């Protein structure tokens, strides 16, 4: 009986309850800050510790170095060596190559699919296509990595006669599959959010469905598409399992898309298990972690800002 009666509660209990709920909401925020602090803390020796700096400095991580007398200056990543070499450039190039291939593959597919679903598809088709594409996001990346390692790599090698079986192209295409749903979902939402009144006006002026989609809806939803691309790029940079399995993990500084690559995330995954606690190598791996953290944080933040701005603009137009 008394279940449905709201008894006046004491102020103190209300206060405590409210603060507890606020604390749970803040937990995620505190978590992110703490994670950043602890990851960055481990990389601090690179900036302050003399012994660490004898092996590795920011300079040596960025610029070409000469290690043996008869050789040219090079970017080399060879942390387990008589002369440890910690150039981040081969890893940076590798990470960027995989992400760019993934974006080149996923952006057109994701955006086109979004245009089709939001503008042309019947309600029934839309109800099938949307969940199926979003299902792609649910595939564990280790499964995609395995697929790329066994099936996709063989197919690409036979189709294009590639020298290296595991390469940037192979890893990038597999990465692209994980990014399509990100770009698709956000673009589709943005296009659906374009007010019907705009479409009606365009049709009243004599535009056909193609003209409505490409000259009216697409430009209006462009910030949303941009946000999808930015968020997808962040995902591509941070994704680990696929590149670890499918990229070949060779730290080469070349611009060719058919060479093997080694990415930041895969390097951490492959090397952190063995590394001597507190060594320069350990600090460098944590610095890479910090870089990845900052980068994905910035992409997510800017993606969110773009989306919020877009929402405000579209809602402003409606009223």
Partner 1 sequence: MKQRFCANMAMVALFAIVLTLGISVSLNAGQTVTLKGSDTMLMLGQRWAEAFMAGNPSTIIQVTGGGSGVGFAALINGSTDICEASRPIKPGEIDKLKQRFNSQGVEIPVARDGLAVYLNAENPIAELTVDQLRLIYLGTITNWKEVGGPDQRIILYGRENSSGTYSFFKDNVLKGKDFAAQTQTLPGTAAVVNAVAKDKFGIGYGGAAYAKGVKYAKLKQTAEAPGYEPNLETVRSGDYPLSRYLFWYLRNKPQGDVKKLVDFVLSNEGQEIVNKVGYFPVK
Residues that bind partner 1 (CB under 8 A): 76-82, 85, 90, 153-154, 163-166, 244, 248-253, 260, 262, 270-271, 273-277
- Least Å distance, CB 245 to partner 1, is 8
CB count in 10 Å sphere of residue 57: 15
- Least Å distance, CB 108 to partner 1, is 30
- Least Å distance, CB 272 to partner 1, is 9
Distance CA 173, CA 100 (A): 10
SS (H, E, C) the chain: CHHHCCCCCCHHHHHHHHHHHHHHHHHHHHHHHHHHHHHHHHHCHHHHCHHHHHHCCHHHHHCCECCCCCCCCECCEECCCCCCEECCHHHHHHHHHHHHHHHHHHHHHHHHHHHHHHHHCCHHHHHHHHHHHHHHCCCCHHHHHHHHHHHHHHHHHHHHCCCCCCCHHHHHHHHHHHHHHHHHHHHHHHHHCCCHHHHHHHHHCCCCHHHHHHHHHHHHCHHHHHHHHHHHHHHHHHCCHHHHHHCECCCCCCCCCCCCECCHHHHHHHHCCCCCCCCHHHHHHHHHHHHHHHHHHHHHHHHHHHHHHHHHHHHHHHC
Nearer to partner 1, 21 or 83 (CB): 83
- Least Å distance, CB 280 to partner 1, is 13
- Least Å distance, CB 104 to partner 1, is 23
Nearer to partner 1, 10 or 319 (CB): 10
Nearer to partner 1, 154 or 197 (CB): 154
Nearer to partner 1, 59 or 274 (CB): 274
Nearer to partner 1, 85 or 199 (CB): 85
Structure tokens at 71: 């050789």
- Least Å distance, CB 142 to partner 1, is 12
- Least Å distance, CB 277 to partner 1, is 8
Nearer to partner 1, 48 or 273 (CB): 273
Could you tell me if 192 and 118 are in contact, meaning their C-beta atoms sit under 8 angstroms apart? yes
Nearer to partner 1, 249 or 283 (CB): 249
Residues, the chain, total? Answer: 319
- Least Å distance, CB 50 to partner 1, is 19
Nearer to partner 1, 134 or 271 (CB): 271
Residues 6+ positions from 137 with CB-CB distance below 8 Å:
178, 181, 182, 185
- Least Å distance, CB 15 to partner 1, is 19
Nearer to partner 1, 76 or 175 (CB): 76
């Amino acid at each position: 009986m008394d279940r449905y009666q709201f008894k006046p509660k004491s102020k103190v209990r209300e206060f405590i309850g409210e603060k507890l709920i606020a604390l749970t909401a803040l937990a995620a925020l505190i978590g992110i800050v703490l994670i950043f602090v602890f990851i960055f803390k481990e990389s601090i020796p690179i900036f302050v510790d003399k012994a660490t700096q004898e092996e590795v400095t920011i300079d040596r991580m960025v610029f070409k170095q000469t290690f043996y007398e008869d050789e040219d200056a090079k970017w080399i990543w060879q942390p387990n060596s008589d002369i440890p070499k910690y150039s981040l450039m081969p890893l940076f190039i590798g990470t960027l190559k995989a992400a760019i291939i993934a974006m080149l593959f996923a952006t057109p597919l994701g955006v086109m699919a979004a245009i089709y679903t939001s503008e042309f598809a019947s309600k029934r088709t839309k109800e099938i296509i949307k969940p199926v594409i979003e299902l792609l996001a649910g595939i564990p990346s280790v499964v995609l990595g395995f697929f790329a390692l066994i099936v996709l790599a063989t197919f690409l090698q036979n189709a294009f006669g590639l020298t290296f079986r595991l390469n940037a192209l192979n890893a990038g295409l597999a990465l692209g599959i994980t990014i399509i749903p990100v770009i698709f979902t956000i673009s589709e939402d943005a296009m659906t959010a374009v007010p019907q009144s705009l479409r009606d006006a365009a049709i009243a002026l004599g535009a056909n469905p193609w003209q409505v989609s490409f000259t009216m809806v697409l430009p209006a939803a462009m910030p949303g598409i941009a946000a999808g691309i930015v968020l997808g790029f962040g995902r591509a940079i941070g994704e680990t399992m696929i590149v670890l399995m499918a990229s070949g993990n060779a730290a080469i500084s070349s611009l060719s898309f058919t060479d093997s690559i080694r990415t930041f995330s895969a390097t951490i995954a492959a090397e952190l298990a063995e590394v001597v606690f507190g060594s320069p190598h350990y600090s460098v791996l944590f610095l890479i972690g910090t870089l990845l953290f900052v980068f994905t944080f910035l992409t997510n933040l800017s993606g969110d800002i773009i989306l919020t701005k877009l929402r405000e603009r579209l809602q402003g137009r409606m009223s």
